[in-house]
Amino acid sequence: MANIKATRKVKTFVDISLAFSPNPVTGDLTVLKDERAINNSIKNIIMTVPGEIPFNRDMGSMTTSYLFDLVDAGTASLLEEEIKRAIEFNEPRARTQSVKVQAQPSQNQFSVNITYKIVGYDEVVVLEHLLRPTRL
């Protein structure tokens, strides 16, 4: 009798790119897979205000409201908590391990470093993003 080793298939996560640009080869919509899909989703969650998405008024976070406060350690701490809450509430494919927000007052922005694991995968993913106000 042959020795058959059962392997567990890891789920693939696929999202459509919100740029809606066609693939240059196939002409189909561009898709984002796994890490890129979840990174894009997390960025969208962080930058979306609750109530902005029709029929899903709880989706998003209040991070944009903090961008017009003082760029200091206190606001960075509030942003960390809001980003953790938003990811845990809105992105079931990611398990947040840490969120670090660093105030950069001279550039009027916050540097965000999010470390998470994709559900069903062992590897750790690090997402870096800059938060800055769109109006000055």
Domains of the chain with bracketed CATH: 33-131 (3.10.450.40)
Per-residue pLDDT band at 94 (split at 50, 70, 90): very high
pLDDT of residue 3: 59
Task: Give the span between the Cα atoms of 40 and 26, in whole angstroms.
Answer: 22
Global pTM value: 0.82
Per-residue pLDDT band at 78 (split at 50, 70, 90): very high
pLDDT tens profile 44-77: 999 999 989 889 888 999 999 999 889 999 999 9
Task: Give the span between the Cα atoms of 4 and 110, in whole angstroms.
Answer: 52
